[in-house]
Structure 1
């Protein structure tokens, strides 16, 4: 970080000076990134879900009979990006432009505290770990430990919000609800009440095991970002396009690599958070979901929605980390 190192004082406070900076900067960065990339988040969630996949298959069959214009998905990675564009178009036409931002409310309610908690825990955690366990020196292991702690704390605190968001994003039109036996959800509060009725408090922690598995993504991302930031450190202080390009490239590359390595946990988490189908819970646990997806749909399905995910998270990370770093540097320069 480009924050100035505080001089030693007699204070007994565990947290470094101006620790609140990480909380505010992370929250603002997360909010801006989420708003910009919300439509891709909707597409990603639907592509990860078996309910939406079944709907697409049914429409493909109807199209083959002359009743629609849907074609079966092609097993081609590059076509997945084209398919993402088709789904965005279909949502816009069939459900209204507003549907492209379904779940944005819970997303913002989740992203702002999640990013604030994550950046706060990581930004201060790496200093605490370095000062107490590594003679004040930061290295890859310090970054890894801080990122792991930040991921666990963030996942535990915000999991209920992501469950509500996932339910809302899987809510489509009335024909889909009729086919799956799910109820119409008028908003976040209606979704919360339904989850409480069906599963109780435990329902808000569905997918938490997959979220903990996803801690590896955050750890890889932070370690790689710190490394790339050092490699582009020569651009710091130069201002203008060169400095910001280095920052954007570091954030985007770190997120892209981390996502490619750990993506299957995203699919498993979405399946675990799906609504009941005719009162039946299909996915009940981490290992059970992994085995069932591979047995029924093949290992390739563990990467369902990857194109939409990358189209969302890479620019999201670039926006988020740039705002985060910008706020820290601005405050330290005052």
Structure 2
């Protein structure tokens, strides 16, 4: 048998494998997001309730052209005292069920989709650093997918938070005598019954704009972690201390919240069962005419008081749960 020359053997070129989008999905991302969202919401729901009531209150800021029939508050503490005086401590937890469900589902799906997309961009290599534009793209895609799933829950949360004690409303508040809801499921059923599918997706348009909020937040958070780890000359996915996670989460949230807050006012007013607007443009026009630019930042103080510790709790729980099986690089 003739010897085979080494020159006659041709090594076939192997294709470079490319992972599919969900080939590296980690269910612990979903569980960690749900856990963080539920815990933070249970602790901080009263501030969220107060924020929503400020957002929809068309009471004049710089003009008296828009009458209001809602309870009036002089500030966050006055609102809390007034609600407790009228409805007890339970009054601060109106709408907590859909808020817990919405926050748990939103954070769970957000982290689930975001990390699946980011992992796809990294081709499965968690140590590969991504640029800020890719972090924003992954966060935007995750935000749209999450919003489409959870928007009906947020409609129910807003409406339950705005269910006032009818016996204690100012006289002549006929406009506020609307459907009364016994809970989240009853609210979802009645909204669909009287307003159809469109009712369950009120506020979707400004909510889609709000995806930019999550994109800015995650971009800032990831960039802070990346730059910090590069400064320390360790891998980009190196586990940080709890205080480092808290600091980066708080900084990224304040940055994103301040930049995008007006969309939340618009969304809350669209979802409010006590007022009817033809769409986003009318909300913007009426708010600007009656309250000026300050109207678009109503509720910002209780919002920042609510979301800053909220995001710290969510990200701290998430990072620790998803790093449990990782060993720090040496």
Which of the five TM-score ranges fits, normalised by the shorter chain? 0.7 to 0.9
The reply to whether residue 252 of structure 1 matches residue 232 of structure 2 is no
Corresponding residue of 2:282: 288
Partners of 1:195 and 1:208 in 2: how far apart? 15
What is the Cα deviation at residue 93 of structure 1?
Answer: 1.5
SS in 2 for 1:131: coil
Partners of 1:195 and 1:44 in 2: how far apart? 23
What is the Cα deviation at residue 33 of structure 1?
Answer: 1.2
Q: How does the TM-score come out when normalised to structure 1?
A: 0.81
Contact 2:136 2:219 survives alignment (8 Å): yes
What is the Cα deviation at residue 137 of structure 1?
Answer: 4.6
> CA 1:112/1:42 → structure 2, altered by over 3 Å: closer, same or farther?
same
Which residues of structure 1 form unaligned runs of 5+? 1-8, 61-69, 74-82
Contact 1:49 1:267 survives alignment (8 Å): yes
Q: What CA deviation, in whole Å up to 9, does each residue of 1:25-66 have, x standing for no partner? A: 111111111111111010001000136888987766xxxxxx
Partners of 1:272 and 1:302 in 2: how far apart? 13
Contact 1:41 1:308 survives alignment (8 Å): yes
Corresponding residue of 1:173: 165
Partners of 1:11 and 1:246 in 2: how far apart? 34
Pairing partner for 1:49 from 26, 37, 56:
56
> CA 1:235/1:173 → structure 2, altered by over 3 Å: closer, same or farther?
farther
Pairing partner for 2:199 from 200, 203, 207:
203
Q: What CA deviation, in whole Å up to 9, does each residue of 1:176-206 have, x standing for no partner? A: 3756222332222332233123311110000
- Within 5 Å, give how 1:138-287 maps onto structure 2: 138-174=130-166, 175-176=168-169, 178=174, 180-233=176-229, 234=232, 243-277=241-275, 281=276, 283-287=277-281
Corresponding residue of 1:6: none
Contact 1:236 1:243 survives alignment (8 Å): no
Corresponding residue of 2:105: 113
Partners of 1:99 and 1:232 in 2: how far apart? 43
Partners of 1:147 and 1:12 in 2: how far apart? 19
> CA 1:276/1:100 → structure 2, altered by over 3 Å: closer, same or farther?
closer
The reply to whether residue 308 of structure 1 matches residue 296 of structure 2 is no
Contact 2:29 2:112 survives alignment (8 Å): yes
SS in 1 for 2:325: helix
Q: How does the TM-score come out when normalised to structure 2?
A: 0.82
SS in 2 for 1:15: coil
Larger radius of gyration: 2
Contact 2:38 2:101 survives alignment (8 Å): no
Aligned length: 296
Corresponding residue of 2:12: none
Which residues of structure 2 form unaligned runs of 5+? 1-15, 61-65
